Amino acid sequence: MNARLLPYVLILPVTLFLCLFFLYPFVLVAAQAFGGADGLSLDNFRDVVSYWKFPISLKNTMLLAALVVPVQLALALLMATMVNRMKKGRDLVLYIWTIPLGISDLAAGIIWLAIFEQSGFLNSMMTGLGLADGPVNFLSYQNPGMVFLAIALAEIWRATAIMLVILVAGIGLIPKEYYEAAEVFGASPWQRFLRVTLPMLRPSLQTALILRVVLAFEVFAVVAALGGTVMPVLMGEIYAYQFDLQNGGAAAAMALIVLGISIVFTVIILRVLRVPKGATI
Amino acid sequence: MKSLNALASAVAAAAFVASTAPLSADVLFWSTQARPVEEAQAMREQVLSGFEGGVDYQPNEDGPWLTRLNAELEAGSGSIDVLGALHGNFSAMNPDALTDLGDLGVASSSETFNGLAKLGTETLQYVPWMQASYIMAASKEALEYLPEGADINALTYDQLIAWAKNVHDETGDAKFGFPAGPKGLKHRFFQGYLYPSYTNGVVRTFASDEAVVAWEKFRELWQHTNPASTNFSFMQEQLLNGDAWIVFDHTSRLAQAFNERPDDFVAFPAPAGPTGRGFMPVLAGLAIPSTAPDPEAAKALVAYMLKPETQIATLRATNFFPVVNVDLPDDLPPSVKASGAAVAKMSASPDANPGLLPAGLGDKGGDFNRVFVDSFERIILGGQDIRRVLDDQKGRLAAIMEETGAPCWAPDAPSDGACPVE
């Protein structure tokens, strides 16, 4: 086989796959979103944006991402550095930490629902220890803050590992020489982390953050399980448009809005964490 | 490259064989009903096993159900033979997508149901299959708190509120349970129960002064409602675990409680308001999509499902009642006895004010429900002013009625053309 052609042949299957299962549906969705009674129109967008729940669900989604992603980033960095220092049992710890990744997000939501429910584990424990007189209702519309926290907790538990895996791989790639040099100049462990690990991790941080932020805008099943109707989020609204209202146009418009938000944040992350041209590790 | 070609053609050939070889000659019954595993299994083993030729019963959520059906309709060929779904699922479809069933010779014994099943055309588009309704149920522990002089079989909304308040005051917990969760059927309570009982209408009276009173009453009841209700969708769960003592729900969403602990719960009619005891039936139907691969077998299956024996077997399997006249045997499950008696009392009560399922809304059924759900979320959960919310939502409701041109249905007074929101 011609060596010049080989790379293209190798990426051909993936390209075909993406065209068929991503680009083509995307074009269809866009056509649906911009389609109206008579040709192109923005009616679908006007409809979904003027709906009274839209600002609330947008706010909830954004707040959730703003709370969850930084906490996950900090935790994942901490966990990755810890794992990296371990001499024994590294694999075992990694396996255990990544278990939540293997659980579907609805199942994760239901697990946390079993904890926070009125007759759930947390309540039985608190009553058993004498901390509360009777079961407390955590997940009610009266304390949206608590519902929000429960969802954030479930999300952190569920999806921190995805950042962890990427960061562990990234840290493993940093050459030991840099640390040795830093130590020679008397850098403290904290300084080594700030001046060596973090800058060298940029490419991995970029990937991890993009992946996680985009997923955060798509949060759905955990919210549906824990928040019920109390916490509307963008993805839940898309589901409602598509299946409750059978309004494919509006659902497509909402999906494009989520896509737009994701693209904006991806571009921001790419710019902020860009690796200068020519720099390598 | 040669071997690659050979491989590719082998794969293609295998795929071709797999797609053309009939996997089974069974009739594919694509349903939104009897979804829980036990019910689906009972449908297969007790209801459909008697059909000659075999049936592949596949229950699904509404979303996937519709997605596959639409895909087959758009492709112009399919593998689904028989559809089983609620009236609302069918009314959202284009009648052209369904085979006319007027010449099949089977129909329900209720002319109202047969009329709904025509979907605005001249002939049956689906055959009524089974029916249910929404009732109240209570844990026997709650009975001692019934207000004085109240008859559980003829409650008023005021008495229901007083009862829920008594329980709340005496036990310290709000024990009324309402299916306000994401999958809960709360909108049917407003459309078929609260509004008819207070305003003698649903659409015309949506923003009337009586409607304001109705929402005020509901707000009062909500004071004594378990606040976790926004996560409740199947009230049998909360009855069984004791989180709610007095509940409203669909008969089949209460069945498990009666079947597991028949001696612990009672079923009773919905309460009455100033304009009677509003209540609403639930109607499921059977249809044949225009793309059915074997329409003759599909028709045979529909006819089989309407036989009295099959209808009784269906009742045992799903807790949905027959739509044809049958003599019910004595050995029915506890849930069927309890809910059957409650429905009978409800429809036979002197102040009964039966409503119909929303008709003629086409694919706007979901938007129609959303008007009521949104009103609930804004008034009850959001604490917004009732008059302001109703006046605001009224515009959306009027737009839906005008767009679909749906005429009024009972208990609203009949209209010429689209049902007006007054």
How far apart are the C-alpha atoms of A105 and A225, rounded to whole Å?
10
Which of B66, B227, B363 is the closest to A142 by Cβ? B227
Which of B172, B173, B377 is the closest to A229 by Cβ? B377
Q: Is A32 on the interface with B (CB under 8 A)?
A: no
Q: B126 and B137 share a domain?
A: no
What pLDDT, on a 0 to 100 scale, did the predictor assign at position B88?
Answer: 83
What count of Cα atoms within 13 Å lies in the side-chain half-sphere of residue B180?
25
How far apart are the C-alpha atoms of B315 and B252, rounded to whole Å?
10
Tokens 């759905």 appear where?
A220
Average pLDDT over residues B45-67: 90
Domain boundaries, position A181: 58-272
What pLDDT, on a 0 to 100 scale, did the predictor assign at position B269?
Answer: 94
How far apart are the C-alpha atoms of B220 and B211, rounded to whole Å?
14
What pLDDT, on a 0 to 100 scale, did the predictor assign at position B3?
Answer: 46
Instruction: Indicate which of A106, A246, A247 best probes the interface with B, i.e. most B CBs within 10 Å of its own CB.
Output: A246
| Contact status, residue B401 vs residue B190, Cβ threshold 8 Å | no
Q: B35 and B109 share a domain?
A: yes
Q: B271 and B400 share a domain?
A: yes
Q: Give per-residue pLDDT as tens, A198-250.
A: 989 998 999 999 999 999 999 999 998 888 778 899 999 999 898 888 888 99
pTM comes to 0.79
pLDDT above 90 for B183: no
User: Does residue A76 form part of some domain?
Assistant: yes
> What crossing angle do the helices spanning A248-272 and A43-50 adopt, rounded to 10°?
80
Which residues in chain A have their CB less than 8 angstroms from residue B374's CB? 52-53
What token pair was written down for B350? Answer: 């002197």
| Contact status, residue B188 vs residue B134, Cβ threshold 8 Å | yes
ipTM: 0.71
Q: B147 and B124 share a domain?
A: no
Distance of CA B315 to the CA centre of its chain: 15
When divided into structural domains, chain B yields a total of 2
User: Does residue A141 form part of some domain?
Assistant: yes
User: Does residue B321 form part of some domain?
Assistant: yes
Which of A119, A245, A247 is the closest to B243 by Cβ? A119
User: Does residue B338 form part of some domain?
Assistant: no
φ/ψ of B123, rounded to 5, equals -135, 165
Distance of CA A137 to the CA centre of its chain: 28
- Alpha helices by DSSP H, listed for B130-282, are 157-171, 186-189, 195-199, 209-223, 235-241, 255-260
User: Does residue B287 form part of some domain?
Assistant: yes
Which residues in chain B have their CB less than 8 angstroms from residue A123's CB? none
Q: Is B92 on the interface with A (CB under 8 A)?
A: yes
Residue scoring higher pLDDT (A35 or B205): B205
Q: Is the peptide bond before B407 cis (omega within 30 degrees of 0)?
A: no
CA distance A41 to chain B (A): 19
pLDDT above 50 for B379: yes
Domain boundaries, position B168: 133-280+352-404
How far apart are the C-alpha atoms of A188 and A193, rounded to whole Å?
9
User: Does residue B260 form part of some domain?
Assistant: yes
What token pair was written down for A172? Answer: 């493993």
How far apart are the C-alpha atoms of A187 and B142, rounded to whole Å?
70
Contact partners, residue B257, CB within 8 Å, separation at least 6: B137, B235, B236, B239, B240, B264, B265, B335
User: Does residue B418 form part of some domain?
Assistant: no
Q: Give per-residue pLDDT as tens, B266-283.
A: 999 999 999 999 999 889
Count of H-run helices and E-run strands, chain A: 15, 2
Q: B101 and B33 share a domain?
A: yes
Q: B292 and B269 share a domain?
A: no
Q: Is A139 on the interface with B (CB under 8 A)?
A: yes
Which residue in B225, A132, B192, B160 sits closest to A123, CA to CA? A132
What pLDDT, on a 0 to 100 scale, did the predictor assign at position B17?
Answer: 41
Q: B93 and B119 share a domain?
A: yes
User: Does residue A3 form part of some domain?
Assistant: no
| Contact status, residue A64 vs residue A219, Cβ threshold 8 Å | yes
Instruction: Indicate which of B231, B363, B393, B396 best probes the interface with A, i.e. most A CBs within 10 Å of its own CB.
Output: B231
CA distance A135 to chain B (A): 10
When divided into structural domains, chain A yields a total of 1
| Contact status, residue B197 vs residue B273, Cβ threshold 8 Å | yes
Which residues in chain B have their CB less than 8 angstroms from residue A240's CB? 370
Q: What is the CATH number for B16?
A: 3.40.190.10
* Residue at a domain's end among B332, B362, B393: B332
Q: What is the CATH number for A174?
A: 1.10.3720.10
Q: B79 and B201 share a domain?
A: no
Residue scoring higher pLDDT (A182 or B348): A182
CA distance A181 to chain B (A): 53
Distance of CA B375 to the CA centre of its chain: 20
Q: What is the per-residue burial (b if ≥16 Cβ within 10 Å, else e) of B256-275?
A: bbbbeeeeebbbbbbbbbeb
Q: Give per-residue pLDDT as tens, B330-357.
A: 888 899 989 888 988 888 888 988 887 7
Q: B35 and B173 share a domain?
A: no
Q: B263 and B237 share a domain?
A: yes
| pLDDT band with cut points at 50, 70 and 90 for residue B24 | low
